[in-house]
Structure 1
Amino acid sequence: MGERGTGRRISAVRALHTHLSTPSGAPQLYDLAADWEDDEVPEREVLPEPIAGHGYLIDAASRLMSENAARALTTWAEELHAVGSCLVITGSPRDWRGDSRFEIGAVRPDAVQVARNHLAHAGSHAQAGWLQTDVQRAATRGLLRQSVPDRTVGILSDLITRTVSPGDATAIAGRLRNIDPGRLARAAEHKERPADSPEYQQGLRELRRIREEVLLWTNFLEEKLAGSGTRGPDRMMLLAAAYLEGAPLELCIKAATAFGSRDEALARRYREGRSPRRRLADVGVDTADDTAAFHSRPGFALSAIRTDWHHWADEREETRDWLACITAPDGIAKDWAEQIGSRLLDLSITAVESPFFPILDTWTATSPDEQRLRIVTTLITRAAETEELARAAHKQLLDWATKGHPHRRLVVAQACSGRYGMRWPHMAFVRLRHILALDDEAARIAAGALSTHAAASTDGLQRVVDTVETWFERYPTHLAGPRAFLALTDPTHSVLDTVMSAAQAAPAIRDFLINGWMQTLRQPDVRDHAHQILLGWARAAHEGRLNRTTTFGILTDVRNAHTPLDAMSRFLYGSPDQDDKALIEARFALANLRACNHTQCSEPHCPLKEAVGPLPDTSTAGGTGESPS
């Protein structure tokens, strides 16, 4: 257990590997998604069976770990331990609510050593030497000292401080790998010249630039965005270019002028003094090809966004409003919404007062088109896959699913039918249950998602069947169960072939179909849909696509269970010796069908064939009262 940045995950993986490794081979390690709601307990049936040599890792930081959930996982861990398997749960001290005896505190490793190890493992030994703090030791090769010491060894020894997290140290090391050793060597050589020489100044500038590049231009941005001479137009020019990197300069300039009030006085500030292009160049934007670029400063854009959000806390609301304005359906940067959303997601990983979810709320509330809904779906799925935003993303999807907003319901349905549903099927099904409460496009997507999941594998079919059965049991008046059942039994979808084949081999699936029909036929809101599915079954059996014996056997059991075998049953279904004219007439009336005199019936024993004249008007008995056709 430890705070973010203490290296808890890599420590957990190493612990699993060390504990389970044997001379016969390395263990198999699995990352388990915490696929349960905050108030739920992971069921034993969904947890893997204990197998020797298998290790499992669960990130508790992505879900709320209740006491009951902690106890259930502890019990499962004991089963794993008994067969030579293992479970490790990572999270902060606040995330674990189980037995404190199992807690092991994560100790933050030396950030400099983490970076050097990362570089050495990647084969970048020269860059690892730049971070070396003991220069004398680094200059030694075996028992002999180099005749000419390497000037670059230890030259960046103060680049990473002890307070840097292991993750950030690894990221810095990754950027160090992109620095050409020859470039740093030339800068180091120039720095050894006399202090008053041009070469010395050139070396200092190049070293400073390398440090800025590796540290994502922190000092430069502090000066441009937080210094005493910071000008509002300059700041907005940089911010617009950072969010719209790659866009035409004209678009960035228009976006910058849209910030805040649109009165004439503010607009005049952008027309006075330096030109907008000069302003962009002065704040670090490459403007040579008429697009906002940062080729000379890799990583500059996101670093600028983070620095601005951190320093200008009193304008965060205005910044959100500005982003919502320029990305509105009629906004000047509407075509750049996906990139802006992606940068807001990256910003929100560490930002206070995260702007990411409020912007998604705005985008889904303003009549978005299909493209915008696709963007929101992609972004919120990415957020759920991001440790720092996972809890908020799961909660947001659940909140949207329970509300009646049509666009947000579509986002939830699309997310649950995509990567989100594949990674967290249980949580996706919970959200789909809420979506299926209404009859709209989102519900149709949700039904399709369940069908697709069931058709994908045997385990998927069983998971969906168990879920729908649970819905029937726990929510008998809710429409999610019937609508999901009708999606699984729709003859126009290939999943029905899978279900019917399983029903022939597994009595439990057959029982599910019988019970599902009984529950569904009780719901008047799906009566027409159920009738169409029944007709589809009849046609499929007639055409040979469904096994007749299985199909009509199931429907016979449904009929027998759905209709009591009493006088009314005999009245409706009849028997060979009781099909007289009056009874058939009554059935026509009860079925609300057009009356027929049967004078053209080819059956020689038809009880109505000898009828004289037309049948009486059946409208008073519930028929249509129409004349014979």
Structure 2
Amino acid sequence: MTTPDGQGLPQPRTSPPPFGQSAVGNLGPTVQVGGSNTGNINITGRPKLPVIAIARGDREAALEPLWAHTPTPQQAANCLAANGLAVILGERGTGRRISAVRALHTHLATPAGAPQLYDLAADWEDDEVPEREVLPEPIAGHGYLIDAASRLMSENAARALTTWAEELHAVGSCLVITGSQRDWRGDSRFEIGAVRPDAVQVARNHLAHAGSHAQAGWLQTDPQRAATRGLLRQSATDRTVGILSDLITRTVSPGDAVAIAGRLRNIDPGRLARAAEHKERPPESPEYQQGVRELRRIQEEVLLWTNFLEEKLAGTGTRGPDRMMLLAAAYLEGAPLELCIKAATSFGSRDEALARRYREGRSPRRRLADVGVETADDTAAFHSRPGFALSAIRTDWHHWADEREETRDWLARITAPDGIAKDWAEQIGSRLLDLSITAVESPFFPILDTWTNTSPDEQRLRIVTALITRAAETEELARAAHKQLLDWATKGHPHRRRVVAQACSGRYGMRWPHMAFVRLRHILALDDEAARIAAEALSTHAAASTDGVQRVVDTVETWFERYPTHLAGPRAFLALTDPTHSVLDTLMSAAQATPAIRDFLINGWMQTLRQPDVRDHAHQILLGWARGAHEGRLNRTTTFGILTDVRNAHTPLDAMSRFLYGSPDHDDKALIEARFALANLRACNHTQCSEPHCPLKEAADPLPDISTAGGTGESPS
């Protein structure tokens, strides 16, 4: 066909575009296509769950010389040998994780070397089941550990993991799941009860391994045996052997025992030896009393001042003003004394009677000193009592249950944007997080709710983001943190949405990419600053690695398929295809060699162009593509080929479309000539462009064959 001036032009297509027969984003092993197929069929696999090598410290704690015997690991190893799966159940503090690590090592270790042990991230939502394709492929000698306490383990999820464990078992691999009785809803034949190890032995093993043999001897329960046998060989005349044998009870958790051992290492052996020597003097002598006081102080220091705090905060005669002075100093450690005093006096009701209580009797500074606060340099400090502040916070929360709500209100009030302690929100939040690990009626998440609901500034949002990320990484708070982020993402509160977007763009998104993408999908439903952060997070994740690109592409394809009217897919697609980001270069390069990526770009444009809410943004990205091809930053053939296929599929078959583009089956010669006259862009004199390959400046030859269909997507007549 020619135009009235005799120039040849591309001809209209006589058959549907080939990608109309494509099957993109399929998760099944087969695809059935009706009729003849001339395009690509892409079967997309979901990314694997993240695996992280078990920390060296945990592996060392599970082996000699640090290991303290308990029958749990051997029982679990026997279960692994028979089934490839063991479920170790026990409350927190029973040593279930280290027992699991030892069970994996016991079952998989060979003379050739140590096994490969991994934490498998429970990166699925409560209502989801870990499908087989997201679970690692079985490899001999690999052991996996899943913490069920951080993720709700439904019956279907338990069955899926049991089936996967059978595959692992067949190749010489295995899986251990840890949690409480409430966390496992699968087959009971895999259950092993966690038996708590001897806390004293745990502490002594860690002290001896660190070279603190004297401190390990202090915990010796039978001093007479220390001279000839046992962990250490010490002189029978050493007065310090066994002097702290009653410091650690049998019910202390292994983790607390290790922490106590760490504090014992900081005690100078000479200091304890002098106290022991004084304690051997006659009871009526001043030296004896001095030795008793020093031993008591050492015990308080190691046990984080439990007895001292019980007396000051919970004993008979406890004064409210004294308690509040200590609590204010504990939350505001390092702050000026005047600030602590003002914070303490703002607790509770502000009536005159309460204010008078602080003006009567001892001065505020004297009150602070009497409850253990060091005031020498006009700041609240606990230099001589390390760990005292957090211990005071925990003791107060435990004993004063009827004032927990008032304490939360007080903390929210003093950290408000106009509060007297607003600049100390980060430290207060961190201590609330530590408190909430063991506290009843955790105050941590209610305070975060308050902070994000009271017009926070950028700094406060950054603090909340960091805190909730830490909470997600903390075993005891992980489940609540995941739920809180999902709840905030699904609501329209702008500040909370920004926190979610920022968290998912940081460590949270790196550790739990699937759950992060679910939350980002909710964020992208609206057009606000949070959505822009979410779009940037997806681009950053894709730019980080080849696996990252594939994970994001697969995720966006899934969004297009499952949520065709949702704006998350189009907004994410436009972020990935923005020419100002490097991800588009990666996608364009891949599109030239990988049909699946080319189909993703074509299908993504088709889905995006159907959404009027992103029309202006899509137009700007299209202009960016045109400029990129024009300036040589994007491959012209690939760019215009993709856009041509998008045009052919997207153009509606209405009267104006037929008039502009023609319909060879129905239109006469006059209409076709009119179409070419309207489309004859070569009539424009485009000499101003300096680009040597500008398509509007080239000679009047037929346009290059750049589409998957040939020509501009129109079939020759």
Please say whether Structure 1 and Structure 2 have the same fold, judged by a TM-score greater than 0.5.
yes
Secondary structure at the counterpart of residue 619 of structure 1: coil
Q: Structure 2 vs 1, CA of residues 488 and 605 (structure 1 numbering), >3 Å: closer, same or farther? A: closer
Q: Any idea what the Cα deviations from partners look like across 1:563-587, whole Å, max 9, x if unmatched? A: 2678754422359999999989999
User: How far off is 1:598 after superposition?
Assistant: 14
CA distance in 2, matches of 1:370, 1:432: 20
Structure 1 unaligned regions, length at least 5:
none
Contact 1:592 1:622 survives alignment (8 Å): no
CA distance in 2, matches of 1:623, 1:554: 12
Relative to structure 2, which stretch is displaced further, 580-589 or 191-200?
580-589
Determine which structure has greater relative contact order: mean sequence separation of CA pairs < 8 Å that are 6+ residues apart, divided by chain length.
Answer: 2
Secondary structure at the counterpart of residue 620 of structure 1: coil
User: How far off is 1:142 after superposition?
Assistant: 9.4
User: How far off is 1:139 after superposition?
Assistant: 2.1
2:113 is the counterpart of 1:33:
no
2:242 is the counterpart of 1:154:
yes
Q: Any idea what the Cα deviations from partners look like across 1:5-57, whole Å, max 9, x if unmatched? A: 11000011111112111111111211121100001011222222222222111
Choose from 558, 563, 567 the match for 1:470.
558
CA distance in 2, matches of 1:546, 1:615: 18
Contact 1:380 1:393 survives alignment (8 Å): yes
2:446 is the counterpart of 1:358:
yes
Q: Structure 2 vs 1, CA of residues 438 and 624 (structure 1 numbering), >3 Å: closer, same or farther? A: farther
Q: Structure 2 vs 1, CA of residues 175 and 85 (structure 1 numbering), >3 Å: closer, same or farther? A: same
User: How far off is 1:137 after superposition?
Assistant: 0.6
| Cross-structure match for 2:640 | 552
| Cross-structure match for 1:179 | 267
User: How far off is 1:228 after superposition?
Assistant: 1.3
Give the length in aligned residue pairs.
629
* Structure 2 counterparts to residues 479-558 of structure 1, below 5 A: 479-558=567-646
User: How far off is 1:472 after superposition?
Assistant: 0.8
User: How far off is 1:511 after superposition?
Assistant: 0.9
Q: Structure 2 vs 1, CA of residues 510 and 603 (structure 1 numbering), >3 Å: closer, same or farther? A: closer
Relative to structure 2, which stretch is displaced further, 587-596 or 156-165?
587-596
Q: Any idea what the Cα deviations from partners look like across 1:353-397, whole Å, max 9, x if unmatched? A: 000000000000000000000000000000000000001000000
Q: Any idea what the Cα deviations from partners look like across 1:135-173, whole Å, max 9, x if unmatched? A: 111122699997752111111111111121111111111
Q: Any idea what the Cα deviations from partners look like across 1:53-107, whole Å, max 9, x if unmatched? A: 2211111100000111111111221222222222111111211111111111111
Contact 1:241 1:285 survives alignment (8 Å): yes
Contact 1:595 1:627 survives alignment (8 Å): no
Q: Any idea what the Cα deviations from partners look like across 1:255-289, whole Å, max 9, x if unmatched? A: 00110111222112111111100000000001011
2:251 is the counterpart of 1:166:
no
Relative to structure 2, which stretch is displaced further, 406-415 or 456-465?
456-465
Instruction: Give the structure with the higher percent helix.
Output: 1
CA distance in 2, matches of 1:130, 1:326: 44
CA distance in 1, matches of 2:219, 2:692: 102
Q: Structure 2 vs 1, CA of residues 526 and 593 (structure 1 numbering), >3 Å: closer, same or farther? A: farther
Contact 2:682 2:700 survives alignment (8 Å): no
CA distance in 2, matches of 1:626, 1:483: 30
Q: Any idea what the Cα deviations from partners look like across 1:493-543, whole Å, max 9, x if unmatched? A: 111111111111211111111111111111111111111111111111111
Contact 1:285 1:293 survives alignment (8 Å): yes
Contact 2:644 2:712 survives alignment (8 Å): no
CA distance in 1, matches of 2:704, 2:323: 87
| Cross-structure match for 1:387 | 475
| Cross-structure match for 2:407 | 319
Q: Structure 2 vs 1, CA of residues 565 and 552 (structure 1 numbering), >3 Å: closer, same or farther? A: farther
Q: Structure 2 vs 1, CA of residues 583 and 280 (structure 1 numbering), >3 Å: closer, same or farther? A: farther
Q: Structure 2 vs 1, CA of residues 596 and 581 (structure 1 numbering), >3 Å: closer, same or farther? A: farther
CA distance in 1, matches of 2:536, 2:691: 45
Contact 2:140 2:173 survives alignment (8 Å): yes
CA distance in 1, matches of 2:671, 2:686: 14
Contact 1:594 1:628 survives alignment (8 Å): no
Contact 1:595 1:623 survives alignment (8 Å): no
Relative to structure 2, which stretch is displaced further, 519-528 or 41-50?
41-50
Contact 2:115 2:141 survives alignment (8 Å): yes
Q: Any idea what the Cα deviations from partners look like across 1:194-237, whole Å, max 9, x if unmatched? A: 11111111100000000000111011001100011111100000
| Cross-structure match for 1:115 | 203
CA distance in 2, matches of 1:585, 1:508: 38
Secondary structure at the counterpart of residue 327 of structure 2: helix
Q: Structure 2 vs 1, CA of residues 272 and 595 (structure 1 numbering), >3 Å: closer, same or farther? A: farther
Contact 1:116 1:173 survives alignment (8 Å): yes
Contact 1:402 1:434 survives alignment (8 Å): yes
Q: Structure 2 vs 1, CA of residues 547 and 595 (structure 1 numbering), >3 Å: closer, same or farther? A: closer
Relative to structure 2, which stretch is displaced further, 45-54 or 587-596?
587-596
2:485 is the counterpart of 1:400:
no
Q: Any idea what the Cα deviations from partners look like across 1:422-445, whole Å, max 9, x if unmatched? A: 000000000000000000000000
CA distance in 2, matches of 1:160, 1:261: 41
Secondary structure at the counterpart of residue 144 of structure 1: coil
Q: Structure 2 vs 1, CA of residues 228 and 566 (structure 1 numbering), >3 Å: closer, same or farther? A: closer
CA distance in 1, matches of 2:707, 2:546: 51
Q: Structure 2 vs 1, CA of residues 230 and 110 (structure 1 numbering), >3 Å: closer, same or farther? A: same
Secondary structure at the counterpart of residue 638 of structure 2: helix
Contact 2:709 2:715 survives alignment (8 Å): no
User: How far off is 1:174 after superposition?
Assistant: 1.3
Contact 1:243 1:340 survives alignment (8 Å): yes
Q: Structure 2 vs 1, CA of residues 157 and 627 (structure 1 numbering), >3 Å: closer, same or farther? A: closer
User: How far off is 1:588 after superposition?
Assistant: 14
Relative to structure 2, which stretch is displaced further, 300-309 or 38-47?
38-47
CA distance in 2, matches of 1:355, 1:604: 67
Q: Structure 2 vs 1, CA of residues 585 and 394 (structure 1 numbering), >3 Å: closer, same or farther? A: farther
Contact 2:151 2:479 survives alignment (8 Å): yes
User: How far off is 1:623 after superposition?
Assistant: 30
CA distance in 1, matches of 2:703, 2:210: 92
Contact 1:248 1:290 survives alignment (8 Å): yes
* Structure 2 counterparts to residues 5-84 of structure 1, below 5 A: 5-84=93-172
CA distance in 2, matches of 1:606, 1:445: 36
- What's the TM-score once normalised by structure 1's chain length? 0.91
Q: Structure 2 vs 1, CA of residues 614 and 118 (structure 1 numbering), >3 Å: closer, same or farther? A: closer
CA distance in 2, matches of 1:21, 1:626: 65
Relative to structure 2, which stretch is displaced further, 473-482 or 610-619?
610-619
Percent sequence identity is 96
Relative to structure 2, which stretch is displaced further, 134-143 or 114-123?
134-143
Contact 2:109 2:115 survives alignment (8 Å): yes
